[in-house]
Chain A
Amino acid sequence: MSLHSPLSPATPRLVPSGAAPPPVAVELGGLRRVFGERAVLDGIDLTLRRGEFVSLLGPSGTGKTTLLRILAGLDRADGGTVRVAEARSVVFQEPRLVPAKRVWQNVVIGHRPNAEARRLAGAALEEVGLSRHADAWPKTLSGGEAQRVALARALAREPSLLLLDEPFAALDALTRIRMHDLVAQLWRRHLPAVLLVTHDVDEAILLSDRVIVLSGGGIAFDTAVDLPRPRQRSDRAFGVLRARLLAELGVGSAEGHG
């Protein structure tokens, strides 16, 4: 059993159809995590490949965030195997920027602050549309801007695995829509494996290739989302999938027909 052993370094991004599948970014086998008497995660098997966008749904307290924290290396597993890409980064619900560092220094927090880091930060900020705020202090940014900086910080590492822990939950509705578009766009450009923890069924359907519902310590439901992008909430198939997922989450009948 090897916990957190890094996988082989990232290979070229886009794999032409018919070739070997993209490299594995996450490989979980029988993952267990126990708090006291209760096994929050009890035998999770999961494989994520680069370029895959997976959403993790589940009622509160089902271990979604615990799973994400284990993948991030912030929590340990009590059993099973955990293999994750070494180059990984996280965007949390709050931006979690260092208030005493300028925006660009936050973006390249893992680097020595030199000219190369500055260039890297500039490029990452450009991608999230915040180049003009490179020299600003985090506390002068709005919530949405700060969260975009957090996204730039995550991308600056060129991650093979991008972990998103409810990153849109604290944003206002309009900012959230813009962030959805931005994340989708950045995912298409960099093609990391993405694991999005969310409570929002629509968000999961809008963004991901695959939706997993976690319940009772295991994977209760796992489905591919075969809808053409960009996706419309008004689409009939969207509504069918939403109803199905809500049913899996135990709130099905209330909102079954949208």
Chain B
Amino acid sequence: MTATHRHTPDTPLAEAPPPVLVDLSGRTAGTEPRARRARARQLVSRTLVPFALLALWQVAADRNWVSPDALPPPTVIIEAFAELIRTGELQSAIPTSLARSLVGLLFGAFTGLALGLFAGLWRVGEELVDAPLQMLRTIPFIAMIPLFIIWFGIGEEAKITLIYAATIFPVYLNTYAGVRGVDQKLIEAVRVFGLSPLEIAWRVIVPTALPSILVGLRYAAGVSLLALVAAEQINARSGIGFILLNANQFQRTDIIIAGIIVYALLGIVIDLVMRVIEHVSLPWRPSLVPA
């Protein structure tokens, strides 16, 4: 091969400083067990920390580092859960609260989807809908509570309307962005194949925008729970909010914490459900398709 050098560099190769070689061969060898060890360590540290915090919490209460009235230990909270289940309060409260959240979410998501499609697909829709919604969305929905009480009273309407109002925006924004994000080249290509604008919208744009729409829906589900907590502060006579208000009157910190944990668990469950929905309705996404 040496004889085939035909180029004539300015300095002969022999005089040029030799390139610095770096040894990379060791890096690939033995990565398999090392990666497995790293995963194991990660798992341990990830589970260890929450358990350590729980233990610290228990010890702090037992040794009276904090007043058990202010922060009762985990064991007492478990008893509070048992009490709520024994009396049947929890079993009746969860469906009530969940129903409020889901009804508000359902109507809010539907409105957000309809407005998002309207603004995303038609220019006139964008002109009519987008500016007012962009303005309205800057209002923190919690600030609307006093107004909603005046308009809708302190019954179920005010609560559900608050959840409804809060969940429109995430769905609207993501639907609009998703529809607008569909590649123009794709739309152009299917136009050649004789699809009408309505067929393009339904068969091409909406399915392609679905990942974004579902992100909006998942976000709205989280918001619906947030709005539920805020709404249930309005004179709740049933639901988890009622348990909390009652416990507040009787200074039952353990029940208050139990109620907060229930809210958190609902949040986790709703998020899981949404992930399953995404997984089922988006089989074509590359991250979900086995290569």
Contact = CB atoms under 8 A, between A and B. Distances in A.
B185 A94 contact: yes
Contacts of B204: 98, 101, 109
Contacts of B291: 140
Contacts of B269: none
Looking at chain A's contact residues, is the secondary structure mostly helix, strand, loop, or mixed? loop
Interface string A93-120: 0101011111000000110000000000
A100 B291 CA distance: 16
Contacts of B195: 109-110
A181 to B, nearest CB: 24
Contacts of A92: 185, 189
B193 A89 contact: yes
Given A98-B204, A139-B289, A157 B185 contact: no
Contact of B192 (A89, A94, A101, A140): A89
Contacts, number: 59
A74 interface: yes
B269 to A, nearest CB: 28
Contacts of A212: none
A177 B92 CA distance: 70
Contacts of A157: 193-194
Nearest to A69: B188
Please classify how large the interface on chain B is, using the bins under 10, 10 to 19, 20 to 34, 35 or more: 20 to 34
Contacts of A137: 283-284, 289
Contacts of B189: 90, 92, 96
A73 interface: yes
B191 interface: yes
Interface residues of A, number: 22
Interface in B188-240: 188-195, 203-204, 207-208, 210
A47 to B, nearest CB: 22
Nearest to A136: B289
A139 B284 contact: yes
B286 interface: yes
Which of A109, A138, A140, A157 gathers most chain B CB within 10 Å? A109
Given A137-B283, A137-B289, A139-B286, A73 B192 contact: yes
Interface string A68-99: 00001110000000000000111010101011
Given A92-B185, A99-B284, A140 B289 contact: yes
B85 interface: no
Nearest to A74: B188
B142 to A, nearest CB: 37
B283 A109 contact: no
Contacts of A94: 185
Interface in A121-156: 137-140, 153
Given A92-B185, A94-B185, A137-B289, A100 B284 contact: yes
Nearest to B209: A100
B282 to A, nearest CB: 8
B197 to A, nearest CB: 14
B188 A100 contact: no
B186 interface: yes
Given A139-B284, A139-B286, A98 B191 contact: no
A98 B195 CA distance: 13
Contacts of B185: 92, 94, 96
B208 A100 contact: yes
Contact of A90 (B183, B192, B203, B283): B192
A58 to B, nearest CB: 22
A140 B283 CA distance: 11
| Shortest 3 CB-CB contacts between residues of A and residues of B | A100-B207, A96-B189, A110-B193
Interface of A: 72-74, 88-90, 92, 94, 96, 98-102, 109-110, 137-140, 153, 157
Interface of B: 183, 185-186, 188-195, 203-204, 207-208, 210, 283-286, 289, 291
27 contacts: A72-B192, A73-B191, A74-B191, A90-B189, A90-B192, A92-B185, A94-B185, A96-B186, A98-B203, A99-B208, A100-B208, A100-B210, A100-B284, A101-B203, A101-B207, A101-B284, A109-B193, A109-B195, A109-B203, A110-B193, A110-B195, A137-B283, A139-B284, A139-B285, A139-B286, A139-B289, A157-B194
